């Protein structure tokens, strides 16, 4: 079975932001997301793999037998957009996206150009719903 690439590391989160967030705006948004996600989740930020800042963790196991650990929520200040790993992708959670603002969506990821493009209180609601869902499904860790 393939080894998971996204595992928690001891890389310094603030050093990562300084080196990886390519613009002053992305750095500013990254620091704001650190604060917002830490306050909302209650977890300290940790690096997951080479480019994801994650908060908390859960252990998943699929029917295929594949298993591993992943952050409950997280983000990455990528060049094209900030990737927010805060959404379950479940149909029953789609209503949480209403009124969020200007964003694009992947399977379980929200992409924003800058933090001011979205309603931060709506983001907090999405984060809380995602954490609740993951901890209800996989247990607290």
The stretch 77-100 carries a mean pLDDT of 95
For residue 3, name the pLDDT band (cuts at 50, 70, 90): low
| 115 in any annotated domain | yes
Q: Total structural domains in the chain?
A: 1
The stretch 116-133 carries a mean pLDDT of 97
- For residue 88, which of 131, 49, 59, 119 has the smallest C-alpha distance? 131
| 9 in any annotated domain | no
Q: Which domain holds residue 90?
A: 24-138
Report residue 15 as tokens. Answer: 């050093």
| 69 in any annotated domain | yes
């Amino acid at each position: 079975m393939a080894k998971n690439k996204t595992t928690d590391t001891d890389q310094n989160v603030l050093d990562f932001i300084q080196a990886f967030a390519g613009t002053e705006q992305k750095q500013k948004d990254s620091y704001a997301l650190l604060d917002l996600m830490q306050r909302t989740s209650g977890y300290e930020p940790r690096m997951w793999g080479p480019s994801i800042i994650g908060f908390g963790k859960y252990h998943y196991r699929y029917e295929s037998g594949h298993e591993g650990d992943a952050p409950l929520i997280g983000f990455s200040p990528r060049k094209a957009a900030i990737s927010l790993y805060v959404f379950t992708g479940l149909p029953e959670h789609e209503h949480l996206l209403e009124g969020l603002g200007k964003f694009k969506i992947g399977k379980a990821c929200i992409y924003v150009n800058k933090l001011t493009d979205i309603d931060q209180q709506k983001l907090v609601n999405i984060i809380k719903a995602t954490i609740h869902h993951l901890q209800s499904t996989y247990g607290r860790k």
